[in-house]
Structure 1
């Protein structure tokens, strides 16, 4: 019995990667998929952002998404995951499909889903730690509030073409921040290698 227990413990320890998360491995592929998502968002533009200046709004991109240096590794992974999940939710709606080229939109949603699935292994061991450790308005709640503001804005603007253009540009900012966080995480762990 002691041998079996020792063997199980050894397997658990071996399964922890350099990042310390069970089954978590950030690769260059994760960053490349993120960049492809940005390219798709760039192609989705149907209006000139200048023609929608009257609809501009500062959504208050959370510092947690921009300056991941202040976050612990597990919090940063949770912030990236939540950003991707909320971005997917914004673009995986009926009003969104009416606003965009469906082929590009489908490719974007597929890319976001792929990133989410890749991060699941990193997220599972840390679920629930992010917000409770900081108390009150933790990084995940801040990201959720940010995206709630985006959804309210779309409703207020009745999903107009200009509103979606403003959101497209804002999502490019949010996803660019996610890529930067992923790159930082990969460098911290030394995991970001080609695969």
Structure 2
């Protein structure tokens, strides 16, 4: 049965117009891979965190940018991309390879790469539709500053085992927080697909 032209046109407008972004479907596996990455980070623990109490640092994770209620969809996708990219930067360093079990580290890197590719498609589709938010801060800047603090901390601590342990725990917490935002995007995509 052929759809009437007016209905077909309406579906296209809803799918690609500024208000209804069916163009970005966050993969159902995206949140699953984040959870797997959290498990991998847990398995990467080499020393007890209790041995590193003197090395504790408050990196001030920008919780408001992953809360989900305070960022637009396009910004949310950008925030997730930035978070994954910056995490990759931390774990792609030569010093990172020396600090961790290479099998677990490779699995983590593979998961991060897959997620970045998944979000890249969404980001490309959403960027063309996004209208600039006048007077709004770019939430990715908060993520960049957060990871800059992490990289400076590692350097200051000379990439010690305790420094890596603190960073590993911090990024686990960061990923746990980001699942809220990912779930919001998945739910939104699921709602758009329902009748």
Asked if structure 1 preserves the Cα contact closer than 8 Å seen for 2:22 and 2:192, the reply is no
Q: Who is 2:124 aligned against? A: 124
Give me the CA root mean square deviation: 2.9
Asked if structure 1 preserves the Cα contact closer than 8 Å seen for 2:22 and 2:189, the reply is no
Asked if structure 1 preserves the Cα contact closer than 8 Å seen for 2:76 and 2:181, the reply is yes
Task: Write out per-residue CA displacement over residues 102-157 of structure 1, whole angstroms, 9 at most, x where no aligned residue.
Answer: 11001000000000000111111344998x63657420111100000000000000
Q: TM-score normalized by structure 2?
A: 0.83
Q: Who is 2:4 aligned against? A: none
What SS class does the counterpart of residue 133 from structure 1 fall into?
A: coil
Q: Per the alignment, do residues 133 and 15 of structure 1 end up closer, same or farther by CA in structure 2, a change over 3 Å counting?
A: closer
Gaps of 5+ in 2: 1-8
Asked if structure 1 preserves the Cα contact closer than 8 Å seen for 2:59 and 2:150, the reply is yes
Q: How far does residue 28 in structure 1 lie from its aligned partner after superposition?
A: 2.3
Alignment of 1:17-36 (within 5 A): 20-21=20-21, 23-36=23-36
Alpha-carbon separation, structure 2, partners of 1:190 and 1:11: 16
Alignment of 1:1-195 (within 5 A): 13=13, 16=16, 20-21=20-21, 23-127=23-127, 133=133, 135=135, 137-190=137-190
Number of matched residues? 185
Q: Per the alignment, do residues 23 and 105 of structure 1 end up closer, same or farther by CA in structure 2, a change over 3 Å counting?
A: same
Structure 1 stretches of at least 4 aligned residues deviating more than 3 Å after TM superposition: 9-17, 19-23, 125-130, 134-137
Q: How far does residue 66 in structure 1 lie from its aligned partner after superposition?
A: 3.8
Alpha-carbon separation, structure 2, partners of 1:53 and 1:175: 22
What SS class does the counterpart of residue 122 from structure 2 fall into?
A: helix
Q: TM-score normalized by structure 1?
A: 0.83
